[in-house]
Chains A and B, each alone.
Chain A
Amino acid sequence: MIKYEGRNYSLDQNETVLDCLLRHGIAPPYSCKSGLCHTCLMRATQGTPTSDSQKGLKQSQISQNYFLGCACVPNEFMDITLPNSEAFRSITTVLNIAQLNDSVLRLRLKKPDNFNYFAGQYVTIYNNNGIGRSYSLASVPGTDDFLEFHIQVIPNGTVSNWIKQAVSVDDSITIGEAIGSGIYTNDNLKQSIALIGTGTGLAPLYGILRTALLKQHKGDIRLYHGSRSSANLYLQDALQQLANEHSAFTYIPCISGAEPLPEALTAGRANDVALKDIVNFKKWRVYLCGNADMVKASKRSIFLAGASMQDISADPFAHA
């Protein structure tokens, strides 16, 4: 038996989850029906998917109970959702709002009970009119007892301006569930990790970085944080502090605009600096976050520079 959107469906002998849903007139996206195209990706919120149905998925997806509907003949009860369904919302409380630089706010919310997430995932924050925007989590579950977001305030940005102007401490705020597969997986502690982000793309990287350090990651970790001007960097002190404490971690703040730079800052775009620095990305684990054009272009150039597609997580921001 499976459950989908609150209703139970019985499976025939040897029937896959996808076939069962199709037989009941439900049409989730699908294509090849052979476990190849990944179009019918689903997630179990209850029950464990069969290992057959997780073949070829990323480790980060497997640990979140993602599976392929066309390859799953369940051997136990499963409650199923589609990857980006917004079924879960919770109402929580604003704990703290602070200014990280001229245009970036740090928003801390109370972590609702039963709210589970991995560092690096993102959450939709809804304004009082129910309009939502996705923001990456900068906090680390277990370490931080709050949810932290870095909000780039965009001129005319519906939700970011609302947060800046209308939200204050103790207000209630509605959020969705944590989604996204750009998370730290400690299946290979010796792997080198490159974290490359622009603007508030730093938020998820900050969470992933601290998770990796917490899990005693052994390989090199290099963080390239890019910004147009040095005034738009943030968390420099905290990151430099982490670099001083952990010899395997290197923090490389990059400035793409023209300005005289102190020695601690590198001139150039974060992705270009990383490519020039690392050259061969074979066996590297790579996280890309922030400006959508940067993320898209880097995904390709870093793949061509040797990284396996499985090892690249890309999180393009609509505005960054």
Chain B
Amino acid sequence: MSDNLYEQIGGETAVNAAVDIFYRKVLADDRINQFFDGVDMEQQAAKQKGFLTFAFGGPNNYTGKDMRDGHAHLVARGLNDSHFDAVMENLGNTLKELNVPDELIGRAAAIAESVRDDVLGR
């Protein structure tokens, strides 16, 4: 079996299945949805795809610097660890809902964790 997380989770099909569920959770989550207000939903959904592909270790060209730059305006608006934790929680719940095994969820979470400092601008 491949040890490529992205392929094990189900590749692009999995990302497509996850994006609606994940984004719905984020928009319904009062701890963090203020950051997503005013962002065009369609573009935002495409960006969520970027987020999920990244977390699944899939093909992307995002760098730590991109994460830093891409969230700097949110850090200026108060983005902190508690918001990051909320996103992690929504990610985990999304994957559970899609019946992804715990071990793979843990690996996706670890990838997302690895950019915490970049996202939070530290």
Residues on A lying within 8 angstroms of B by beta carbon are 32-34, 36-39, 55-56, 299-300, 303-304, 308-310, 314
Contacts and interface: CB of A to CB of B under 8 A. Distances in A.
A238 to B, nearest CB: 32
B20 A36 contact: no
A318 to B, nearest CB: 16
Contacts of B41: 299-300, 303, 309
B27 interface: yes
A56 B49 contact: yes
A233 B102 CA distance: 55
B16 interface: yes
Given A33-B61, A299-B41, A309-B42, A304 B53 contact: no
A309 B60 contact: no
B50 A37 contact: yes
Contacts of A303: 20, 23-24, 27, 41
B27 A34 contact: no
Interface in B36-90: 41-43, 45-47, 49-50, 53, 59-62
For this complex, into which size category does the number of interface residues on chain B fall? Answer: 20 to 34
Nearest to B25: A304
Interface of B: 12, 16, 19-20, 23-24, 27-28, 41-43, 45-47, 49-50, 53, 59-62
Contacts of B62: 32
B61 A38 contact: no
B61 A32 contact: yes
Contact of B19 (A34, A37, A309): A309
What 9 A-B pairs have minimum CB-CB distances, sorted nearest first?
A36-B50, A38-B46, A309-B45, A34-B60, A308-B20, A36-B49, A34-B61, A37-B46, A33-B61
